[in-house]
Amino acid sequence: MIPDGYTITISTISYAFNEDKILEEMKDYIDSTYSAHYSQNQYQSTQIIEDMGHGMGFALGNVVKYCQRYGKKNGFNRDDLKKVIHYGIIALAMHDNEHKGTSSSQEGYPTLFEV
């Protein structure tokens, strides 16, 4: 029941660049990276690299790598752009974990040692 004096407005965003569909595709892509091919003993290689103290550099290095590779290796390959986004998300999560409790972070995630 809606209290007196309140209204509910439901609106649908008309995305100019199909962001809603691309975000769904990205979730499916990221989910696929958790298969045995990409992970070692239930941990992502990126988690192991982060625990060694090289996480942010690794994530941002891969953003640059796949940006530079787009259009060169295998042509204009959408997978390279998906990797740019995925590693950008990983870098954002690392940022949030590093800056827990500050105004520039969201909720952090557990590291290998906290799992």
For residues 26 and 86, give the distance between their C-alpha atoms in angstroms, rounded to a whole number: 8
Least confident of 12-16, 32-36, 87-91: 32-36
Does 40 have pLDDT greater than 90? no
Asked if 108 and 97 touch (Cβ cutoff 8 Å), the reply is yes
pLDDT of residue 38: 61
> What residue segments make up the domains of the chain, in order of their start?
19-98
pLDDT of residue 107: 61
pTM of the predicted protein model: 0.76
End-to-end distance of the chain based on CA atoms, in angstroms?
42
Q: What are 57's two structure tokens? A: 């550099």
